[in-house]
Amino acid sequence: MDTKRDMQQKNPWHRKLIVILTILFIVGIIVIVSTAIIQNKPLPQKMKYGIVLDAGSSHTSLYIYKWPAEKENDTGVVQQHHACNVKGPGISSYSAKTDNAGKSLSECMDLAKTSIPDVRHSETPVYLGATAGMRLLREQDDMASENVLTSVANTLRSYPFKYEGARIITGQEEGAYGWITVNYLQGNFQKNSRFFGPFQDTQASVTLGALDLGGASTQITFVPQEEIESEENSLHFRLYGKDYNVYTHSFLCYGKDQALNLTVAINLKIDEPDNVQENPCFHVGYSKTISLKNLYKSPCTAKQKKNLRMDSVVLNGTGNASKCRENVLKIFNFSDCTSSSCSFNGIYQPHIYGSFGAFSAYYFVMQFLNLTTHHETSLAKVKEKMEYFCSTPWASVKQRFPTVKEKYLSEYCFSGNYIITLLENGYSFTEDNWNTITFIKKIGNSDAGWTLGYMLNLTNMIPAEAPSSPPLPYGGYVAIMVIFSLLLLALCTIGYIFFGKPACNSQKHII
Ligand SMILES: O=c1[nH]cnc2c1ncn2[C@@H]1O[C@H](COP(=O)(O)OP(=O)(O)O)[C@@H](O)[C@H]1O
Ligand SMILES: [Ca+2]
């Protein structure tokens, strides 16, 4: 005590020092707090954009994606900014007037020009991917498919964006990118994928299988439990430091429009009386005349061509769901499997495993039929509802849904039964795992489909390795630095007050 008093008497200026230290301390706190406030203020972020056109068999859609430039490689940051449906049919329908294929895209491309800021135009990539409609046209008429692609490429090149190509993507790509899209949007690649020194977990995280139903082809893609037997059906990905072995297959001609033609063609009898076919997949009172030239035009039905004297056939609806599925079943071949397990037509498929997201026409059809809430709807219940819907006379159906496009409305009975047959008999889903299928349109703000995955891949936005991150989050780092600086400051002050010399200033010791 005496020593302390002596020191205080010997050093009358110590009070001044304490005042100075206190002022410094307060100023320090003010600086730290204001820095933290300024730092947390969201600074205007530079956004980047990308355009992908999905040129499907029935129609073309344009998608604009956007993401913050600084976070390019973080998973889950790319979002759908805008979507535009091209008016008119798919580009493959312009085989006779190929110039019009490109023209049809102008309206949506003009919209893209206004919805993306001018300064970003020249760095915005634009891609067009054509799917099964163009695959079929290429089989039928290679020259025509080339001309269609040239026409759309010319239109896309005439815009101020960075043109990156217009091509027919393979069925395997379509399946793969659909799978990447849904899992990216679900954040499945993000989970536990950060790099924590030597403790990185390379075990692939749980993923969602992807079921895509188009008009001309359909894709199934998932990570199976067993090893994949066939190389042509397997995809190997390393994403954010994890390995994925994915099974995929695309069935050309098994999209719902081609499947309907195939079902009609297979069930057509040579001795059809009065050129009339009783069709259980259409409602009672519905009747439709189809030209046989059109029916057999596609490579999907060409093999079914029979020697018929008539040139058209009248389809008369009889509205019977179970009979409809019997007819649909004839387009699947369940013999000739040379692998340990197959879906159909001799195609290898491992056992169904995990959960699935079913999008595109799966969603449109099941949504219309009110069959998307699988938690309450068993497979038996779905069949029961289809029985009821198909047996409803066409006049009542039309009356109940006056605003629905007649083409779609008349085909929902077929489409619903086709989806059940494809999932149950084709892919071997059962009553037990029916509820693992979720029918989805969007995840967050973005549509489920192959386009986002395609762009992520072509712009190298999914790194193979997880980005390394510091062991502490930024907030934790700042907090520790501040607390320990204050502690040190306090120690110095206490040291000085009690021992008369600053404990933290070694220079004083030397003197
Ligand atoms: O609102 C709808 N209701 C029913 N079906 C729809 C609706 N909108 C689109 N579709 C169908 O979805 C399918 C989309 O196929 P897409 O044109 O993508 O062909 P692709 O993927 O085989 O090339 C087509 O069969 C189309 O008729
Ligand atoms: Ca499609």
For 263-278, give the DSSP string: HHHHT--TT-GGGEEE
- The helix/strand/coil state of 504 is coil
Give residue 497 CA to ligand 2 midpoint distance, Å. 78
Query: What is the pLDDT confidence band of residue 172, given thresholds at 50, 70 and 90?
Result: very high
Calculate what percentage of the chain has a pLDDT beyond 70. Answer: 85
Query: What is the pLDDT confidence band of residue 506, given thresholds at 50, 70 and 90?
Result: very low
> What average pLDDT does this structure show over 140-150?
98
* Whether residue 48 has pLDDT greater than 90: yes
Residue nearest to atom 14 of ligand 1 (CA): 214
- Which pLDDT score, from 0 to 100, does residue 412 have? 98
Residue nearest to atom 7 of ligand 1 (CA): 364
174 catalytic residue (yes or no): yes
What domains lie within the chain, and their CATH numbers?
2-39+482-510 (no CATH), 47-168 (3.30.420.40)
- Which pLDDT score, from 0 to 100, does residue 485 have? 72
Helix residue spans in 41-167 (DSSP H): 99-103, 106-115, 132-140, 142-157
* Whether residue 75 has pLDDT greater than 70: yes
Closest atom of ligand 1 to CA, residue 130: 23
Q: How far is residue 147 CA from its own chain's centroid?
A: 29
Tell whether 216 is in a known binding site. Answer: yes
Give residue 157 CA to ligand 2 midpoint distance, Å. 23
220-267 confidence digits (pLDDT tens): 999 999 999 999 999 999 999 999 999 999 999 999 999 999 999 999
Give residue 362 CA to ligand 1 midpoint distance, Å. 9
8 Å CB contact between 352 and 426: no
Residue among 164, 173, 174, 411 flagged as catalytic: 174
Tell whether 190 is in a known binding site. Answer: no
Partnered with residue 83 across adjacent β-strands are 63
6-18 confidence digits (pLDDT tens): 545 556 666 777 7
Cα 304 to Cα 441: distance, rounded to the nearest angstrom: 34
CB under 6 Å to ligand 1: residues? 56-59, 90, 131-133, 214-217, 255-257, 360-361, 364-365, 408
Pocket probe for ligand 1: among 58, 363, 412, 451, the residue whose CB has the most ligand atoms within 8 Å is 58
Tally of CB atoms within 10 A around 280: 23
> What average pLDDT does this structure show over 181-185?
97
Q: How far is CA 142 from CA 53, 102, 173, 488, in A?
A: 21, 18, 21, 78
* Whether residue 510 has pLDDT greater than 50: no
387-428 confidence digits (pLDDT tens): 999 999 999 999 999 999 999 999 999 999 999 999 999 999
Cα 9 to Cα 16: distance, rounded to the nearest angstrom: 14
Closest atom of ligand 1 to CA, residue 217: 22
Q: How far is residue 465 CA from its own chain's centroid?
A: 21
Give residue 361 CA to ligand 1 midpoint distance, Å. 5
Residue of higher predicted confidence among 494 and 314 = 314
Which ligand sits nearest to residue 250's alpha carbon? Answer: 1
Which ligand sits nearest to residue 177's alpha carbon? Answer: 2
Tell whether 215 is in a known binding site. Answer: yes
Rounded (10°) angle between helices 379-391 and 406-421: 150
Give residue 89 CA to ligand 1 midpoint distance, Å. 11
What kind and span of H or E run contains 294?
A: helix 292-295
Q: How far is CA 439 from CA 38, 59, 119, 366, 435, in A?
A: 44, 21, 39, 7, 10
Residue of higher predicted confidence among 203 and 461 = 461
> What average pLDDT does this structure show over 340-361?
98
For 482-499, give the DSSP string: HHHHHHHHHHHHHHHHHH
Q: To the nearest 10°, the Cα dihedral for 299, 305, 310, 315?
A: -70
Pocket probe for ligand 1: among 364, 370, 409, the residue whose CB has the most ligand atoms within 8 Å is 364
Amino acid in the structure at residue 261: N
- Which pLDDT score, from 0 to 100, does residue 435 have? 95
* Whether residue 197 has pLDDT greater than 80: no
8 Å CB contact between 412 and 319: no
* Whether residue 509 has pLDDT greater than 60: no
* Whether residue 38 has pLDDT greater than 70: no
> What average pLDDT does this structure show over 195-202?
50
- Which pLDDT score, from 0 to 100, does residue 298 have? 96
Cα 332 to Cα 227: distance, rounded to the nearest angstrom: 25
